[in-house]
Structure 1
Amino acid sequence: MATQTPSSSTNSEDTKKRKRDNSSCSEEDEKIITSFSPSSSTPRCKHDVFLSFCGKDTRRSFTDHLYFDLKRKGILVFRDDESLERGKCISQELPQAIQESQYAIVIFSANYASSKWCLRELAEIVEWEKKKNLTIIPIFYHVDPSDVRNQRGSFAEAFAAHEKDPKVDIKETNTWRNACTKVGNLAGEHIKGDRHESTIIQQISGMIFYNYPMLNILIHDNQKFVGINSRVEEMMNLLHMESNDVRFVGIHGMGGVGKTTLAQLIYGRVSCQFEGSSFISCIRERSTTARDLASLQKELLSTIMQEKIRVYNHHQGNGMIMKMLQNKRVFIVLDDVDRDEQLTTLAGDRKWFGPGSRVIITGRDSHLLIRNRVNGICEVQLLQTADALQLFSLSAFDKTNPPENYKDLSMDFVSYAGGLPLALKVLGRFLFGRTIDLWRSARDKLGAIPKTEIFDILKISFDGLEESQKKLFLDLACFCYISFSGEIYPAIDLEVLVDKSLVSKSDLMHDLLKRMGQEIVLMHDLLKEMGQEIVRREDPEEPGRRSRLCRREDVFHVLEKDTGTDAIECISLYFDLPDEAKHRFNINAKAFSKMRKLRFLHFKLRFLRFEHFQSYINWRGNPLKYMPSDKLQFLNWPNCPSKSWPSSFQPKGLVELRMRRSRFKRLWKGLMVD
């Protein structure tokens, strides 16, 4: 048969199949194949896998199933009848395809050795295995491996026929024999009558998928991945892969802590063990409308079924998911879920999926996971200091440890990030390649204005809160005190903040505080900074028009210059005298008169003696006399300069009053409020 060109045949696909199946090629083709030798330079890999097989034995059975399973996993496969370009010389392209592959899967079957075409492929594969990093995987398809390596049985008959062929010289035959012996001695898969082919196909494609270079880059973020082993182990225990039930598992944690990365790792590790898999990312931002939900359903079905699926609305999509997947063992990741309807449209019921299926759900709201009855939740924790330093160093220096002259500076940034992987990576990338002077400058400005990338991701959780919950979060972020009173805030609002990983409760003095109706509430420093930045952006220029004042310079600016407005709801001031005092502060007590919505006033002034108060702060007038009191709930004012409680000051809603070391002789006579 002549070499195929566009003008010599109207059906190049049939020609390719006959070439392999009938082992026929032109003298020109034979000359090209036998004379081809690898060059000294290794070409760039174009394919992941090269399939060598005898067409009439396995083309429409085992080879076809293996080919499509590899493709389904995103692995690039060369199979001659699928991959050869029409009009190209077949014998030239096949050796090149072998060179450009990372794996060669050789499927030995009864008629494999009868094909000179297959044997020449095999010899080429063995030749390239010596010269580059080509991995050979032999599959013995209903043939004994010893028959291959020793040329017995059908292989002995085939070689006897080749040796009688005048067109094949003894040197070439010996090359084929050596290739069969070498590959026949490699560890591979032996398919016999008592083994399920589908299981073997899953094992082969899984092995290649695990070692897929692009997957490793995706998962390990160029090796900048630290402190994950214990979380992966916890997730594998929760998934309980040995059981045949349908399991939903949640991954929970604050923004930027690494939930998606953990889900990607697990997906890369186990998805190839399932009949179908799908990773639906960024669900929160991609599902604002009903049409968006239908689009996500379409993506879910299309990736699992490996064909284009049409979903016209999400109600129809629910039925389609159940109908198409209820008998299929699938692995699904639903990433960044923040509403119930997202789950009800993508994974509404365990009955939608076949036995052994697994669904991972990542999100910031633990209660959403609980109320949707997940089988278990993995809470992703912040990194410990050693791991945090390693991750920061990898991002900033491409090394696991910082250079000696950068160690102290690196620890400053690690301390600032507080174990949050997102912040460690963002700061490390920002500082990469910069001089030590610029590092010092960046350190000195830390906290002034948060890095946009960190701020935006953390703020997602805040944006999803109700107004009363936002109010509580901003109060906690801006104020120095750490106790939480259920009389001031609805208890359910605190629980929501805990569920969304915005705050946590401490067990410190838990019993005592519980009797007092209070909780110790903890917040990550970057979340505090984010909350304070939200308040600063209410009016970047004038602090008096913001809802909360917690920075010392802002408080004194408003009280000295009398720039307060009715926007101010809360004031918190921590001031340590005399060490931090640079000048005498003259504060106008009338500045409080404009703060008609003031509900929280917390002064923490640390004086060794009362005289320090008089020396550094001069109150012009009695502040309580001018302070609107009808909305005031919390008042903490040690060393208050007032000597008397003005009759005009009637805080009807006051819940907490702390006036240590004040100069009051008496607060009031009788009942303050009738």
Structure 2
Amino acid sequence: MASSSSLKRKRNYDVFLSFRGIDVRKNFLSHLNTALDQNGLFTYIDNKEMRKGQQLWLELMKAIEESQVAIIVFSENYAASRWCLEEAAKIMECKGHKDLVVLPVFYKVEPREVRKGEGSYGRAMAMHESKFGKDSHEVKRWKTALFDAGNLIGWHLNDEVEAELIKEIVNEISRQLARTPLHVAKHLVGIHPRVTELNSMLKLEFDDDVRMIGLWGPGGIGKTTLGIALYNNTFRQFEGSCFLEDVRKASGGPNGLVALQEQLLSEILLSRQRLAVSSVRKGIKLMQDRFCQKKVLLVLDDVNDIEQLDALAGGSKWFGEGSRIIFTTRDKHLLTSYGIDEDYIYEVKPLKNHDAFELLSREAFLNNNNIRMDLVDKVLHHANGHPLALKILGRFLSHRSEHDWESSLPILTDILTKTSNDTFKWSYGELYDKAKEICLDIACFFMGYSKDYIMKILDSCGFDPTIGLKVLMEKSLITEEREAIQMCKLIQLMAMDIVRQECSNNPGRRSRLWLFDDFRKVISRDMVRFASVDTNFALLLSNFVY
């Protein structure tokens, strides 16, 4: 996957220059290299062109792989050089597999000559065909590279002023270098097949529409990580791109949505100075004017309010054809109410068993320890495929002995509780009052019960379970699996802790009791009072408790 390979690959050079020295070294290339240097760009330029050999060739190939941008200067005699053609083929290969940005300059040749093998390029390729064979692997590879590179958008220099063109090239390279992949999670597990699914949903090969999709699921399930991987994998295909992280939290900060609008405008337009926005309405107008002809990739991470969508991605008419807008959220209803079709809402689910095991192994360094599989299975069961839970438990158990693992099993719930509160409490806080009560009841009593049974119980208690359960599902707080209601372990811990905090030292004053020990303590403490009222009832309670 391009995103992960680009992060792992070492970048030693900002720019790699591919050229034919006899055509451009003493004029255009010299001026371009000087301008790049003056702008602080570290450039690889081959100064040993007349002494090609295996060692230098390996150095050139390595330099291409370690560059962020490649400039190919197509001049009259470029294709006559086998070395230049090999460079072009390697550059186009890295463009496809290693996230290399390729910018062609057509120096006193027509792009069609490069693309179709006409003029000096036709004569040069005929020479190579006679030497290597028309159907040889080398010739086919070179023709493909020239065709693909000749189709790229670049610069055509004929009678134009070189200084002005060089200034444009340097500015474009600076803009491209400002667009870098985002940092992604250390251990990417199960991401590649999901990115593949989402790419098919985005239909990036079509530029005749603007498409919006949503990534939906509970907190800590990996929506942001998946969004970043998807962004890194595709952002080079767009004229402008922006990943706005944690919109929910940022919109509540100083200047809120206005600050996010300024950031969005600055990143997509690659402006060196932050554009000032005086109000949300003016920000909307500015974005509509600036983006309507621009192919944009925008990711709004962790949105939770329709106002955020209205202010930051008001509709498809805001953006140019081919744009793709991606939302991550815990609230499915937010997406559907915004007009996103169910077919374009991707539910991010827990990891499958083999991926959960791999993530736990990486976080806990299981390969370095001899831990019994039954202990590993108990930890995996506790996390239930939830990436955040796997990371927390894996880090806690990392580099610990088998005995430590065994003694940790009783406290795994305590380890997860604080994180569950930090991650999910605000989702619970957004619920209306009766939905909160239903959420707590399911967490304490009804996990794994059938939906019909739960609805009958809730209905008898005066709740309206139809809308209540639907809201909890839309908010990613519960799921329905095989007609049974389930709840993520972390969400259940958060809900149970809310009940405990009603009165931490006295279970009898809480709204719900679900643990037998708590129930027994409450009954035991009240037995004296009951005994004074009814001796037979006290005896009955005594038999129950003891």
- Cα distance in 2 between the residues matched to 1:618 and 1:298: 74
Mapped partners of 1:122, 1:276: distance in 2: 40
Which among 302, 308, 320 is matched to residue 336 of structure 1?
A: 302
Deviation at 1:409, TM superposition (A): 1.5
The C-alpha deviation readout for 1:143-169, integer Å capped at 9, x for no partner, is 354323499xx9xxxxxxxxxxxxxxx
Which residue is 2:463 aligned to?
A: 489
SS in 2 for 1:354: coil
Cα pair 2:364 2:397 within 8 Å, conserved: yes
Quote how far apart the aligned CAs of 1:589 are.
3.9
Decide which of 103, 118, 139 is 2:72's aligned counterpart: 139
What SS does the aligned partner of 2:416 have? coil
The answer to whether structure 1 residue 234 and structure 2 residue 197 are counterparts is: yes
Greater shift, 520-529 or 257-266, is seen at 520-529
Matched letter for residue 239 of structure 1: L
| Matching residue of 1:391 | 359
Pair 1:449–1:560, CA change in 2 (3 A):
farther
Query: How large is the Cα RMSD of the aligned pairs?
Result: 4.2
Which residue of structure 2 aligns with residue 479 of structure 1?
445
Q: Would you say the 8 A contact 2:219–2:330 is kept in 1? A: yes
Query: How far apart are residue 125 of structure 1 and its match?
Result: 12
Change (3 A) 1:455 1:417: farther
Q: What corresponds to 2:123 in structure 1?
A: none
> How far off is 1:468 after superposition?
1.9
CA-to-aligned-CA distance 1:463-486 (integer Å, 9 cap, x gap): 222222211111111114732234
* CA distance in 1: counterparts of 2:521 and 2:346, whole angstroms: 46
Distance 1:507 1:150, change over 3 A: closer
Give, as a single letter, the amino acid of the residue that structure 1 aligns with 2:455.
F
SS of equivalent residue, structure 2 residue 361:
helix
Per-residue CA distance 1:210-232 (angstroms, 9 max, x = gap): 9x9x949x33x33x222223322
Matches within 5 A, 1:294-333: 294-307=258-271, 308-333=274-299
The answer as to 2:316 corresponding to 1:345 is no
Report if aligned partners of 1:279, 1:334 keep a CA contact under 8 Å in 2: yes
- Is the 1:250–1:361 contact (alpha carbons within 8 Å) kept by the matching residues of 2? yes
Task: Give the corresponding residue for 1:538.
Answer: 502
Matched-pair contact (CA < 8 Å) for 1:293–1:345:
yes
Cα deviations across residues 553-603 of structure 1 (Å, max 9, x unaligned)? 2111122113xxxxxxxxxxxxxxxxxxxxxxx68548999xxxxxxxxxx
Distance 1:522 1:390, change over 3 A: same
CA contact (8 A) 1:142 1:191 kept: no
Equivalent residue, structure 2, for 1:81: 35
Q: 1:618 to 1:499 in 2, by over 3 A?
A: farther
Is the contact made by 2:287 and 2:318 (CA closer than 8 Å) also made in structure 1? yes
Q: Contact 2:257/2:311 (CA < 8 Å) preserved in 1?
A: yes
User: What 5-or-longer segments of structure 1 have no aligned partner?
Assistant: 1-43, 64-78, 87-93, 99-103, 107-117, 155-182, 509-519, 563-585, 594-616, 624-638, 642-674
- Residue 350 of structure 2 corresponds to 382
When normalised by structure 1's length, the TM-score is 0.58
1:283 shift after superposition: 0.5
Deviation at 1:297, TM superposition (A): 0.6
As a proportion of its length, which structure holds more helix?
Answer: 2
Deviation at 1:46, TM superposition (A): 5.0
State which drifts further: 548-557 or 298-307.
548-557
Quick one: structure 1 residues 406 and 147, their matched pair in 2 at CA, closer, same or farther if it must change by over 3 Å? same
Query: Corresponding residue for 1:548?
Result: 512
Q: Which residue of 1 aligns with 2:478?
A: 503
State how far apart, in whole Å, the 2-side matches of 1:618 and 1:447 are.
40
Equivalence for 1:671 = none
Q: Does 1:261 align with 2:225?
A: yes
Q: Is the 8 A contact 1:255 1:364 kept in 2?
A: yes
Q: Deviations over 1:471-514 (max 9, x none)?
A: 11111111147322345322212111010111123444xxxxxx
Aligned to 1:197: 153
Distance change (3 Å), C-alpha of 1:197 and 1:443: same
**Once the 2 structures are TM-superposed, how far is the Cα of residue 343 of structure 1 from its aligned partner?**
0.3
Shift in alpha-carbon separation, 1:551–1:193, aligned structure 2, 3 A: closer
SS at match of 1:541: coil
Shift of 1:316: 0.6
2:425 pairs with 1:450: no
Task: Look up the match of 1:271.
Answer: 235
Distance in 1 between residues matched to 2:141 and 2:30, nearest whole Å:
23
Q: Is the contact made by 1:52 and 1:122 (CA closer than 8 Å) also made in structure 2?
A: no
Find the counterpart in structure 1 of residue 522 from structure 2.
558
How many Å separate the matches in 1 of 2:258 and 2:147? 43
Matched residues, percent identical? 32
- SS of the equivalent of 1:277 reads strand
Contact 1:329 1:353 in 2 (8 A): yes
Normalization by structure 2: what TM-score? Answer: 0.70
SS at 2:255 equivalent: helix
Change beyond 3 A, Cα 1:331–1:192: closer
**1:152-207 deviations in Å (ceiling 9; x for gaps):** xx9xxxxxxxxxxxxxxxxxxxxxxxxxxxx99995954899745249999xx99x
Does 471-480 or 363-372 show the bigger shift? 471-480
Whether the aligned pair in 2 keeps the contact of 1:52 and 1:121 (CA below 8 Å) is no
Task: Answer yes or no: is the 8 Å Cα contact 2:417–2:494 preserved in 1.
Answer: no
Structure 1 distance, partners of 2:83, 2:227, is 47
- Verify: 1:247 aligned to 2:211, yes or no: yes
Q: Is the 8 Å Cα contact of residues 589 and 621 (structure 1) preserved in structure 2?
A: no
Q: 1:124 to 1:293 in 2, by over 3 A?
A: farther
* Contact residue 263 and residue 333 of structure 1 kept, 8 A: yes
Give the 3 Å change call, closer, same or farther, for CA 329–126 of structure 1 in structure 2. Answer: farther
Residue aligned with 2:455, SS: strand
1:548 match: secondary structure: coil
2:247 equivalent in structure 1: 283
Q: Which moved more, 1:367-376 or 1:315-324?
A: 367-376
| Deviating more after overlay: 445-454 vs 259-268 | 445-454
Q: Distance in 2 between matches of 1:523 and 1:332?
A: 31
Mapped to 2, the partners of 1:591 and 1:527 lie a distance apart of 42
Secondary structure, counterpart of 1:445 in structure 2: helix
The aligned length equals 442
After superposition, the C-alpha distances for 1:8-60 in whole angstroms (9 at most, x for unaligned) are xxxxxxxxxxxxxxxxxxxxxxxxxxxxxxxxxxxx96544344665854799
How far residue 530 of structure 1 moved from its aligned partner, in angstroms, is 1.9
